Each structure stands twice: as C-alpha cells, then as structure tokens.
Amino acid sequence: MTTTIDAIRDDFSLLDEWEDRYRYVIELGESLAEFPESARVPANKVPGCVSQVWLTTERSGDVDPVLTFQGDSDAHIVRGLVAIMLALFSGRPASQILKTDADATLKTLGLDEHLSPQRANGLRSMVKRIKHDAETALTQAA
C-alpha cells in the first residue's frame, strides 16, 4: 500500500456522505499487501479487537530504527482501519511513531465520531501495539 495519511485525509474531505467514506475505508483495506498465512500466529494477533487483527513489525536501522508494519483483519472495515494505521505509522522512525497523535488524526478524518465502541477500542489496541513496538525498538537500539 502506497497511500499516505495526507492522501487519505484529502480523499475523506472530498466525500460528504459517511456511506461513501466507509466504502473508501473498505477500498483502503483491499489495497493492503497480501498478509502471509505464516504470520497469522497468536504472537502477531492484536488483543482487544473484536475482529481478528494481525500485525507484524519489521525494524531497520540502529539509532532510531525505522519500523515497517504489515497488517490484516478478517473484517472489511477493520482491514481498512488497519490500512489507515499503516499509512499513519509504517515506514517512520520509532521516535516519530511515539510522537504521532493517532487520536488527532482520527478526529481530522471524523472517525472518532463514526466508529462503533468496539471498533474504536480495536483501533486503540492497534495504536497501543504499534507504539509498544516503537518503544521496544528504541530500547533495543540504546
């Protein structure tokens, strides 16, 4: 997936109806790279999500490692939310990931008001996992 969070934000601003925005979120999920079956293991599963969500983290670099994430879900909208989180966090240095305010981004998209409580909790769980991986990468780099 090569869509940036800025492109997603711009696309959201062009869509007036939430039904159209949900369709767009689903399309984002469809654009995710194929998730390897071998990565669908308990260690990669994100706890706290009603749907099944898997997330892998690849680290490169030493001082401030760049983290690349790959993810998937068994639910269409949640898969799209995974895509949004990857656009926000993947390919960035761990220090930048820790400084990124995911809640503010979700507010700019309007998602904070339009997700069910279960999906919002799952999204927070994804962010928590991503930030935990960033903290771990920085600790190991030190």
Domain residue spans in the chain?
A: 5-141
Domain 5-141 has CATH 3.60.20.10: no
Closest of 16, 131, 126 to residue 80, by C-alpha: 126
Per-10-residue mean pLDDT of the chain, 142 residues long, equals: 87 92 95 95 90 95 93 94 96 97 90 84 93 94 74
Secondary structure of the chain as H, E, C letters: CCCCHHHHHHHHHHCCCHHHHHHHHHHHHHCCCCCCHHHCCHHHECCCCCCCEEEEEEEECCCCCEEEEEEEECCHHHHHHHHHHHHHHCCEEHHHHHHCCHHHHHHHHCHHHHCCHHHHHHHHHHHHHHHHHHHHHHHHHC
Catalytic, 18? Answer no
Contact call for residues 109 and 56 (beta carbons, < 8 A): no
Contact call for residues 48 and 121 (beta carbons, < 8 A): yes
pTM, to two decimals: 0.93
- Selected catalytic residue, list 49, 78, 83, 97: 49
pLDDT value at position 62? 83
Is the alpha carbon torsion for 128, 117, 88, 53 positive or negative? positive
Contact call for residues 85 and 103 (beta carbons, < 8 A): no
pLDDT value at position 110? 87
pLDDT value at position 1? 57
